[in-house]
Structure 1
């Protein structure tokens, strides 16, 4: 009994088939080129949100920076959802910190505005009285006492 030659078995392939370990066709099979993530909106939102928290006691810091942090954070989340960015968590953190800074800033503006509305006329009266008093200490004390009495009545 003779054994068939193994080389003949591997050299004969059915029609339309190539070798079992053939190289892939030239120029194909590599997919799309990898694009670097665009994480700028998320990072910007977080930085602006932190600044909004730190500067929330100012109108510019709390309100303006808070709004900007919200805008950049939303844009960063949208970019991450489209898989153009990889830092969705950073963008969400920017939204949260910006919102907190914005809310604190608005509360402080409303609080200061209401205090000024309540005591604004008394402050202008105090300023007028102090201008008229000049350097006379007894009149200055009298002006301060009138202002204090007016505040206590309210």
Structure 2
């Protein structure tokens, strides 16, 4: 009686089964996909778009290189994760650029100055109305 977890060969010795053709899992590919989806969903935040997007691109490249070298499966998953991460990164960069341009505009500076000198809520409302008029014209 043998207490080995390996199947018994006809000669009574325990066999060890190693299949050289089986590929290992590709953790970077899965990580890239998860981070890419998160970056795309959270692109409107700096952390979500920039940080998660950048990490998704890096893990996607690592996973794709492992898959291309034959050391891991899921090369397409790596590429999809990297692309989603790049889209989240680009969308977040566009949001930041638009926000920065609005904050640096003359209209916003005038609005900010107006609100700082306003003493009542009606004066603040007038500032908002003037800002809206300046932006739309």
TM-score band, normalised by shorter chain:
0.7 to 0.9
Aligned pair count reads: 120
Q: Which residue of 2 aligns with 1:80?
A: 67
2:104 is paired with a residue of what secondary structure?
A: helix
Q: CA deviation at 1:63?
A: 1.2
5+ long unaligned stretches in structure 2: 1-15
CA distance in 1, matches of 2:28, 2:113: 50
1:83 is paired with a residue of what secondary structure?
A: coil
Q: Which residue of 2 aligns with 1:110?
A: 97
TM normalised by structure 2 equals: 0.74
Structure 2 residue 77 is matched with structure 1 residue 90: yes
1:38/1:120 CA distance change after superposition, 3 Å: same
Contact 2:60–2:78 under 8 Å retained in 1: yes
CA distance in 2, matches of 1:101, 1:122: 33
Structure 2 residue 18 is matched with structure 1 residue 58: no
CA distance in 1, matches of 2:54, 2:63: 14
5+ long unaligned stretches in structure 1: 1-29
CA distance in 1, matches of 2:128, 2:76: 54
CA distance in 2, matches of 1:86, 1:152: 53
Q: Which residue of 2 aligns with 1:134?
A: 120
Q: CA deviation at 1:46?
A: 0.3
Contact 2:40–2:87 under 8 Å retained in 1: yes
Contact 1:50–1:98 under 8 Å retained in 2: yes
CA distance in 2, matches of 1:54, 1:95: 14
CA distance in 2, matches of 1:37, 1:93: 19
Q: Which residue of 2 aligns with 1:67?
A: 54
2:73 is paired with a residue of what secondary structure?
A: coil
Q: Which has the larger radius of gyration?
A: 1
